[in-house]
A and B are shown apart, each in its own frame.
Chain A
Amino acid sequence: MIYLDYSATTPVSKEVLDSYIKVTKEYIGNPNSLHSLGEKSKELLDSATKQICELLDIKESELIYTSGSTESNNTAIIGYALKNQKKGKNIVVSKLEHPSIYGICDYLSTLGFTITYVNNTEDGVIDFDDLRSKIKKDTILACIVGVNSEMGIRQPLKTLRQIIKKENENTVLFSDLTQAIGKINVNLHDVDLASVSSHKIYGPKGIGLLYKSDKVNIEPLIKGGEGELRGGTPCLPLIVAFSKALRIAVTSVSKNESVVKLLNDKLRSIIAKYPEIKINRTTYSIPHILNISLMNIKPETFIHALEKRDIYVGSNTACSHGKTSKTVLAVYGDEKRASTTIRISLSHLTSFDDINKFLYSFDIVYNKLNELGAIHE
């Protein structure tokens, strides 16, 4: 099997899974219980949390465990909007977000919030002037994804936050960092709210976190937590496994990035030779993602054809089910280009042999389908 869809999800690494199993079996107490079993679990929970906070350089009061990025995104945006609606009801959003963000914005607009979309330059970076003009007095929140999930475009968050604060010091910056943490070095202090997910960094599914700066207040969406911002018994095995996965990912960012860059260079150099294929990449794309437009072939057909050869790549994002790529459209403004994308996403686990085998199959499948596609046109 050749798996090239690491931006959709990653396999859990063995040492992380070992921790998960061990904690599930041996730490049965509820960390909130008073007895020694609870205490034992509480102690482990505290250590796991402390490790995450040290890795991300945040305070424990700034971390909220969630079920993953979608919940973090919901809690951040809806929670912040509800809590701060007296200050204003406008939210500024980039055109490069994960689909879940747009769903949340649609919901908020039914509650009377206005959503303003901010443009990006042809490099995919937020247009500073446009951002400046769209931050108004009643703008309470700006949502700008740290690394875009389709083309891997990385935003200069620190600069964007400075621009935002200069226009309106009360506007808070939320950034979905799902595709950023563990892949590139990120400073959480560049934003006010951020989402992080475990299953994108070789951790288990069903756990993630929301970073919430102490200066920012939100309304909890899951009530009943007695002052906590999310009710519910902490899921200790998931949290411990997440903490371990994060440690491994964060401490090997540079090493892994250089491996992935070589793989990406190799892939691109070959795919660039196909005259009709467009490579959707700007200077701000991280090397973990290679997005291409097949132009004459439906991505769905192509993905299934590769699958028959035991090769797995993604459509634009796993969560948009192969619809038109909003990102590619926002960057290139080309409908056809945006509706025929596939996303090849890489990992340090990918070998050059994998890439060679992939390119071999790619060539066969592409030539066959491209011919049919051309006839069909």
Chain B
Amino acid sequence: MNKLIIIKYGELTTKKGNIKFFIKTLKKNIDNALESLNYRIEYDNGRMYIFAPDLELVEKRLNYIFGIHEIITGYEFGTIEFDTIKENLKSLVLDSKIESFKVVTKRSYKNYPFTSMEISSALGGVVLKNCPGSTVDVHNPKTTINIEIRSNKSYIYFESKKGLHGYPVGVAGKGLLMLSGGIDSPVAGYLSMKRGIRLEAVYFESPPHTSDQAKKKVESLARILSNYSGYIKLHIVHFTDIQEGILKNVPHEYLITIMRRMMYRISERIALKNNCKILINGESIGQVASQTLDSMNVINSVVNIPVIRPVACFDKLEIIDISKKIEAYETSILPYEDCCTIFVPDHPVINPKKDLCDEYENSWDWKTLVDNAVKTEQVIKITSKDNKFSSLL
């Protein structure tokens, strides 16, 4: 008997043509997450089986992996002989208190001489006989006993926990996340990773108007996101010259609109350079002046790359819930100024006109500055394992 973790893939199994690629990517992501642990993985098209001395720690790390439908702690037996299965179940339930229960059998080995119904009812008998006080309840059981019979092995497990669902990070290709220090963009990043997108992130800094702490905060947020993907490449763009240029040359109610247009332009260039197929950001419809439909339209019009906005239709409270769930909230609310919060006009325009934007931009040479910003961007690789102090700690 081996104690093990069984992983069910869930949505992956619907993707017939790509299933091998999906499962391989999932395996790679799990290998990366379990690095430094002692473990062994076996897998097929239906399940993954993880054997390790410290299953608790393995399970903890699996909670950060997309593409897992269920995480099950169970027992593997190297036999499918029916009497032995009965004996095995007996030994597992003998000391446990089982009240109402049902037995669910799955037979992927279709030549097995008993039907699922027959197996369930016989094994139900084993439980009734060995656990005084137990009763069968097929509708609302307190315990569900799962039996799986495969070609040469059988599995028994009791409860399963939900995985993160979604697709393994990487199967959908890469996207560039516009990561500010706020609450929304990390959530947008998390949600896009859930659909299998590998993230790179871009952050705009304006020293000395924005502080080093603000940058550190964004690095922390990227690190939180990297828990779900192993690592994230963070692009840091020096934005001071552009921001000061805007402040000098653009009417104040258009400051934010033009600033966002510049950020979009730079992001698109970085995305294309790094093979990212889309931009991702944390815009939520109507939340602030630059996120009205008119603003989105005018800002979005400067790029050709698709832009997705995973939290566009979420309420702030819904976003906060997810932010707390992924443990980004406490970091997000640290009070450091970022590019979007300095130089905020009293009355930013909520229905900006594209023609006016073009006119305001034509009055000064921002193109060189944008070129320069793209050229001088810094890249850091943020990994989930905080390596920075590893020699000291």
Contact = CB atoms under 8 A, between A and B. Distances in A.
A36 B216 CA distance: 11
A149 interface: no
B392 A244 contact: yes
Interface string A15-47: 000010011000000000000100100011001
A51 interface: yes
Contacts of B388: 43, 47
Contact of A244 (B212, B386, B393): B393
A50 to B, nearest CB: 8
B389 interface: yes
A43 B215 CA distance: 13
A132 interface: no
Contact of B392 (A36, A39, A50, A240): A240
A48 interface: yes
A241 to B, nearest CB: 9
A316 interface: no
A261 interface: no
A66 interface: no
Contacts of A247: 393
A14 to B, nearest CB: 13
A36 B393 contact: no
A134 to B, nearest CB: 31
A47 B386 contact: yes
Interface residues of A, number: 15
Interface in B369-393: 386, 388-389, 391-393
A47 B393 contact: yes
A240 B388 CA distance: 13
A43 B364 CA distance: 41
Interface in A132-179: none
Interface residues of B, number: 9
A112 B157 CA distance: 56
Interface string A45-77: 001101100000000000000000000000000
Describe B's contact surface by its main secondary structure: loop
A23 B392 CA distance: 8
Contact of A39 (B213, B386, B389, B391): B213
A51 B393 CA distance: 8
A243 interface: yes
Contacts of B393: 19, 47-48, 51, 240, 243-244, 247
B176 to A, nearest CB: 26
Contacts of A36: 212
Contact of A47 (B212, B213, B389): B389
A203 to B, nearest CB: 12
A239 to B, nearest CB: 10
Contacts of B213: 39
A23 B391 CA distance: 11
A62 to B, nearest CB: 15
Contacts of B389: 44, 47-48, 240
Interface in A221-273: 240, 243-244, 247
B23 to A, nearest CB: 30
B161 to A, nearest CB: 18
Contact of A19 (B216, B386, B392): B392
Nearest to A19: B392
Contacts of A39: 212-213, 216
A251 to B, nearest CB: 10
A50 B388 CA distance: 13
A22 B392 contact: yes
Nearest to B213: A39
Nearest to A44: B389
Nearest to A22: B392
Contacts of B212: 36, 39
A48 B388 CA distance: 11
Interface in B160-214: 212-213
Interface string B207-235: 00000110010000000000000000000
| Best-surrounded residue of B213, B216, B391, B393 (most CB of chain A within 10 A) | B393
Contacts of B392: 19, 22-23, 44, 48, 240, 244
A43 B216 contact: yes
A247 B392 CA distance: 11
A51 B388 CA distance: 13
Contacts of A240: 389, 392-393
Contacts of A243: 393
Contacts of B386: 47, 50
Interface in A305-347: none
A47 B393 CA distance: 8
A43 B386 CA distance: 11
A36 B389 CA distance: 17
B340 to A, nearest CB: 22
Contacts of A44: 389, 392
B391 to A, nearest CB: 8
Interface string B84-104: 000000000000000000000
A161 B350 CA distance: 59
A373 to B, nearest CB: 50
A266 to B, nearest CB: 27
Nearest to A52: B393
A22 B391 CA distance: 10
Nearest to A35: B212
| Best-surrounded residue of A22, A43, A48, A247 (most CB of chain B within 10 A) | A43
A111 to B, nearest CB: 38
Contacts of A43: 216, 388
Contacts of A244: 392-393
Nearest to A240: B392
Contacts of B391: 19
A104 to B, nearest CB: 33
Contacts of A50: 386
A243 B388 CA distance: 15
Contacts of A47: 386, 388-389, 393
Nearest to A48: B393
Nearest to A247: B393
A63 B310 CA distance: 37
| Best-surrounded residue of B212, B216, B389, B392 (most CB of chain A within 10 A) | B392
A44 B216 CA distance: 12
A61 B383 CA distance: 25
B224 to A, nearest CB: 12
15 contacts: A19-B393, A39-B212, A39-B213, A39-B216, A43-B388, A44-B389, A47-B389, A47-B393, A48-B389, A48-B393, A50-B386, A240-B392, A243-B393, A244-B392, A247-B393
Interface of A: 19, 22-23, 36, 39, 43-44, 47-48, 50-51, 240, 243-244, 247
CB-CB nearest 4 A-B residue pairs: A19-B392, A47-B389, A244-B393, A51-B393
Given A19-B393, A240-B389, 11 more contacts: A19-B391, A23-B392, A36-B212, A39-B212, A39-B213, A47-B386, A47-B393, A48-B393, A240-B392, A244-B392, A247-B393
Interface of B: 212-213, 216, 386, 388-389, 391-393
